[in-house]
Amino acid sequence: MTTAGEDAHDAARAMLDAFASVGARTSDLTTTTRQGRKEAFRRAIPIDSLRSGIAAILDKAARAEHNVIVRPRGPNVVLIQLDDLGASGAARVRDVAFLDLETSPGNHQAWVAIQPAEAAGGDLARSLRHTVGADLTASGATRVAGSLNFKDMYAPDFPRVGIAFSSAGRIVSKEKLAHLGLIALGDRREQASTAAHSAYSESPGGSGGYPSRIAVARPAGRKWPSYSRCVEGAPEAHAGGRPDISRADFTWCMIAVDWGWGIEETAARLMEESSKARENGEQYAIRTARRAAAIVANSRCR
């Protein structure tokens, strides 16, 4: 008879096996607190080494109420993370994903693998995320299957990350993604322009890019916008019952940039304001700030 701990260990190893099957060879490892503060970080651990030690890592993290987060990488594969999907979004990519994690009840994260040559010269990942309604700012870091999702909002019944679906070794082509209507094969410049306009118009609040509940007039002196108001004005996440923090982060960055703050300043401040930014790291904050700056600049030109 297996215990819950043994089942969790098996799930974690199965998840790492799925990544290894498509070409992931190393992974960063991060542990964070319930509040999103980084506790420990190790870079580029071989997948085999991580697999052999993952049981002890999970047990230690569970005792400390720490989250276990990995960022797999491989030299000959592009890993596309489709985060914050509902059940319908996850079903839509079931024929192309090699892994589907349920990070909390009803909240899915699917992973698609594609060869680097197939993804070169365009923004295929962004196009795919846009089509299926995934988080456009996903960082490539994910909770480990079998680990507990420690967030204050879930206390005291923290959900356990599970594997909803796995198809080992599945690497898809760009043509298959296009055939299924998940990306468009056309002029790349036109696609890039469309993606930029879509991202702007899809920001909370629609036209203008800002939620109607947030005042965006530029103040006389530079100051930071209210992060809490951006969270209050954000739409619900796919799982429902909670605000979409990715959208709140993006909206806050747009307002900050529009008020005159630089990209690096905005990213650094976002790390202080956002638990998701602290959980996903500096690269998430920088990408969010850069994307926000591009949209603000595009809006001014229009």
- What span, in angstroms and rounded, lies between the C-alpha atoms of 68 and 277? 15
Whether residues 140 and 232 fall in one domain: no
- What span, in angstroms and rounded, lies between the C-alpha atoms of 275 and 15? 25
Least confident of 113-117, 120-124, 213-217: 213-217
Whether residues 82 and 101 fall in one domain: yes
Query: Between 296 and 128, whose confidence is greater?
Result: 128
pLDDT over 70 for what percent of the chain? 83
Q: What is the mean pLDDT of residues 198-219?
A: 41
Whether residues 125 and 214 fall in one domain: no
Q: Is the pLDDT of residue 301 over 80?
A: no
Q: What is residue 196's predicted lDDT score, i.e. its pLDDT?
A: 37
Whether residues 35 and 130 fall in one domain: yes
Domain boundary among the residues 185, 216, 247 is at 185
Q: Which of 260, 262, 253 is nearest to 288 (CA)?
A: 253
Q: What is residue 184's predicted lDDT score, i.e. its pLDDT?
A: 74
Q: What is residue 221's predicted lDDT score, i.e. its pLDDT?
A: 60
Task: Count the Cβ atoms, other than its own, within 10 Å of residue 297.
Answer: 13
- End-to-end alpha-carbon separation of the chain, Å? 64
Whether residues 121 and 13 fall in one domain: yes
Q: What is the overall mean pLDDT for the chain?
A: 83
Q: Residue 273's domain spans which residues?
A: 194-301
Whether residues 11 and 129 fall in one domain: yes
Q: What is the mean pLDDT of residues 105-114?
A: 93
Whether residues 158 and 211 fall in one domain: no
Whether residues 267 and 160 fall in one domain: no
Task: Provide the number of structural domains found in the chain.
Answer: 2
Question: Which pLDDT tens digit goes with each residue over 150-170?
Answer: 988 888 899 999 999 999 999
Determine contact, residues 214/256, Cβ cutoff 8 Å.
no
Whether residues 172 and 209 fall in one domain: no
Question: Which pLDDT tens digit goes with each residue over 94-104?
Answer: 999 999 999 88
Whether residues 24 and 156 fall in one domain: yes
Could you tell me the CATH number of the domain that includes residue 139? Answer: 3.30.70.1790
